[in-house]
Structure 1
């Protein structure tokens, strides 16, 4: 299970901040919200320092966002894929997005299921990379910080009240966060 492996990797990284940072970054590529929750729980447990946790979470998530943008750019370079969108539609999409990149990226960070299509579309339409990066950094800082703070509070509660069983609660909380995002995305998808 992903949750157990990320936690196990963080513990096996021991006191090495570099190994912990690498583990957290890799964890964000797997499931970023779960990695955020579990990292906060590890901070609460004293296994990882906040100064390692937050920068690693921010870095991993923004790198993942850039990867999605890059996939869109790569798709645009494939003639067969590029022909699927007429030159006129491509031009209209790029024109519409040009003045809205920051806002679109910011909003999509907070809508479950919106990042993949939005960020790859930004890359496909060759949206301004620097505006995209700035928006990704700002949105990630806000969302991840909020989720991290909530997870710290949950971790504190679990440690005080569940003792040795706190990991069952932590994994349950991580699952709830991930499933809530997926359910909201599914409801949004079926209602549109």
Structure 2
């Protein structure tokens, strides 16, 4: 039974589903896994890229949906939206939707705020969806390329398997963001203590 389960996990449909679901938890891990699976020829490049990009875009659209739902469910509004903060920003957000979507895609911590605000303020869904799709395609392609290029160099330099080496650059980025936030927080605490 265990062998059958393990063989089932090697099926392409299972790997695609796992990549899509992983994007909901940690996008960077999904990207690293997608590149690794493709590098090892366990999954085609096109299929792994499509699964990761689809999962990321779906997650972004779900954030928009949370914003829409927050208009009706007060505890969601209290949790994710600050209505008083959006009062003067709605027009700016709608008029600069493209830049807002792209900035939220690349700056850690902005996506939840921006995409839920787009849903809450009723930003037009079709343009939002198209912009999210474009931003996700570009972002994912850049990270795939970075992972492959840096992973090739690491595999040669360190003499480690390429399937492992291609995951290291993306995982390093994923770990660097919380470490940098923590350092920034510690520096602020030191300055305020003085």
- Alignment TM class, shorter chain as reference: 0.7 to 0.9
User: Which of 65, 83, 86 is the aligned partner of 1:85?
Assistant: 83
- The residue matched to 1:92 in structure 2 has which SS? coil
Q: Cα gap change, 1:131/1:182 in structure 2, threshold over 3 Å: closer, same or farther?
A: farther
Equivalent residue runs for 1:18-167 within 5 Å:
18-79=13-74, 81=77, 85-86=83-84, 90-157=86-153, 159-160=155-156, 161-163=159-161, 167=164
| Deviation at residue 76 of structure 1 after TM alignment | 1.8
Larger relative CO (CA 8 A, sep 6+): 1 or 2? 1
Note the residue ranges of structure 2 that are not aligned, 5 or more in a row: 189-194
User: Which of 141, 161, 175 is the aligned partner of 2:171?
Assistant: 175
TM norm structure 2: 0.76
| Deviation at residue 34 of structure 1 after TM alignment | 1.6
Q: Cα gap change, 1:18/1:84 in structure 2, threshold over 3 Å: closer, same or farther?
A: closer
| Deviation at residue 44 of structure 1 after TM alignment | 0.9
Q: Does the CA-based 8 Å contact 2:32-2:171 persist in structure 1?
A: no
| Deviation at residue 13 of structure 1 after TM alignment | 2.7
Distance in 2 (alpha carbons) for counterparts of 1:181 and 1:131 = 30
| Deviation at residue 70 of structure 1 after TM alignment | 1.0
TM norm structure 1: 0.77
| Deviation at residue 62 of structure 1 after TM alignment | 0.2
Q: Cα gap change, 1:184/1:132 in structure 2, threshold over 3 Å: closer, same or farther?
A: farther
Query: Any idea what the Cα deviations from partners look like across 1:135-164, whole Å, max 9, x if unmatched?
Result: 11111111110111111234434555213x
Q: Cα gap change, 1:70/1:11 in structure 2, threshold over 3 Å: closer, same or farther?
A: farther
How many correspondences in the alignment?
178
Query: Any idea what the Cα deviations from partners look like across 1:100-124, whole Å, max 9, x if unmatched?
Result: 1121001111111111111111111
Q: Cα gap change, 1:127/1:70 in structure 2, threshold over 3 Å: closer, same or farther?
A: same
Larger radius of gyration: 2
Distance in 2 (alpha carbons) for counterparts of 1:188 and 1:144 = 27
Cα-Cα RMSD: 3.1
Note the residue ranges of structure 1 that are not aligned, 5 or more in a row: 1-8
| Deviation at residue 53 of structure 1 after TM alignment | 0.5
